[in-house]
A and B are shown apart, each in its own frame.
Chain A
Amino acid sequence: MARDRSDESYARPVRRLLLTVVMLCLIALVLLWRIDNPRVERMRAAIVDRVVPNMEWVMAPVAGAARMLGDFQSYTRLYEQNDRLREELQQLRAWREAALQLEQENARLLDLNRVHLNPELTFVTGIVMADSGSPFRRSVLINVGGRDGILNGWATMDGLGLVGRISGVGEQMSRVLLVTDSNSRVPVTVQPSGQLALLMGDNSPTPVLDFLEAPEDISAGDRIVTSGDGGLFPPGLLLGQVVMTTDGRIRARLSADLNRISFLRVMRSHPGTTLDDPGGLIGPPWPLPQSGDEPAPPATSEAIDGATLLEATE
């Protein structure tokens, strides 16, 4: 017993010292995360990569059981569902007819215009492995990653609409930041009026539509698609429909069903054009004209426009 006490007498300062060192390390980690975010996020991706696939054998049965329970609950509403589905099927048949006709017309028009649709927009499909586990953050982890060629920033869709974008890629896993997350900003176009806006997530199921030029031209039910501004998303991906809330804000009801996402498509998009050469786009043409007060000849400006267009199409 006496030996224990003597152990204690020097164990305590050592313990305190260790504790202080650990706390200082933690503070350093937080500061590092704040200062050099990408590096620590890569570290996080590596840790997720290591840990989450091992958790799968715990998670798979429980998640499966919960899904089965949900499905079982839906059995009770089977009859009404069946009726409703029949009605919808009837309506959809009509739509299908219309779509087929439009598709043929569209193909004819595209042929006339000699338009080449972007062949690079293929997709990789992944399974949702885990979510972020808190209502403060909206993101999911999917089981495709760096080894499948996934890159940061790629758009992610379910069958119908945009779900989010890749933010954080590990070797086997990657993280999808959902459009409902409060960090998510997506440049969009509101369809019939063609107005540009930003879709800003706020952790609620319906993100806010902001920076609209003329909000009075927007009505409920308008389609929202990505505009492709900033080169982050390919243009024209469906996001959802406009809804007006009672507090007068314009929000979006997403087409993607975020409650039951299990498969996600990561759209393989080509890198957007970057502005690494400001001199060619903005400012006076180079080389500068000899006499400063003389305006630039129109031929030069046209040449520059052509050059930027070329850059943009490449």
Chain B
Amino acid sequence: MSAATRRLWTYRMLFILLCLTVISLKLMPMNVGETGIPGPDILLALTLAWLLRQPAVVPVGAILLVFLLADFLLQRPPGLWTLLVLLASESLRSRRLTMTEFPFLLEWSAFAAAVFALLILNRIAMWVLMVDQATLGLTLTHGIVTIAIYPLVVAVSKFLLGLRKLGAAEPEAI
């Protein structure tokens, strides 16, 4: 039992550590003048991929911490993206039991649907709040790139970090 608990906490720490690394990599002053394809939202892919595999390692507190920090550091409207990600993660968490039997392609499309729903909701919220927005094309590219990175994130977490998918019969929280 204690070994399982230790494993769980190791993964939780690993999650937060990975997210902090991603944020600091994004903040690195290397591509200041560059334009073109916006980078993928690795944070979102990582969070949702881990959530669908083992929901206990991505608690609400960790999501809140990581995304709020990202909102503040990446000069986004603070709280908005965090709120949307929390909503998406909760809805996926409640649907996880039906999704455990899905093949990977179906899971991927569920992720894609979530990403687009998030981006559209974000745009609507920004529109309602009358915040200056990026162009629609840039946002769509951002979404597509994020969806394209998802299999890679899943592969890394499965084969490199050994995060396997919990079956429906297995206990959710250890």
Given the interface pairs A23-B86, A133-B74, A183-B132, the reply to whether A259 lies near B38 with Cβ below 8 Å is no
B78 CB contacts on chain A under 8 angstroms:
29-30, 33, 40, 43-44
B31 to chain A, nearest CB (A): 7
Looking across the interface, which residue of chain A has its beta carbon closest to that of B134?
A136
B residues less than 8 Å from A178 (CB atoms): 32
Given A34-B131, A55-B27, A63-B29, does the pair A22, B72 have CB atoms closer than 8 Å?
no
Give complex CA distance A218, B132 in Å.
30
User: Do B79 and A52 touch (CB < 8 A)?
Assistant: no
Total A residues in contact with B, Cβ cutoff 8 Å? 53
Contact across chains for B29 and A30 when beta carbons are under 8 A apart? no
Residues of chain B touching chain A, judged by Cβ–Cβ distance below 8 Å, are 21, 23-39, 60, 64, 69, 72-80, 82-83, 86-87, 90, 125, 129, 131-132, 134, 138
Which residues of chain A in 259-282 are interfacial with respect to chain B, using CB atoms and an 8 Å cutoff? 259-262
- Shortest Cβ distance from A60 into B: residue: B28
Q: Pick the contact of A203 from B23, B37, B125, B134 — CB < 8 Å? A: B134
B30 touches A66 (CB 8 A): yes
- Chain B residue contacts of A44, Cβ below 8 A: 72, 75, 78
For residue B25, which residue of chain A has the nearest CB? A62
A169 CB within 8 Å of chain B: no
In angstroms, Cα B72 to Cα A174, docked, is: 14
Q: For residue B36, which residue of chain A has the nearest CB? A: A135
CB closest residue in chain B, given A137: B75
Q: Are B132 and A140 in contact (CB under 8 A)?
A: no
**Once the chains bind, are A26 and B28 in contact (CB under 8 Å)?**
no
Q: Is A237 an interface residue (CB 8 A)?
A: no
Given A133-B27, A204-B35, are A26 and B79 also a contact pair (CB < 8 Å)? yes
A183 to B74, CA, bound (A): 15
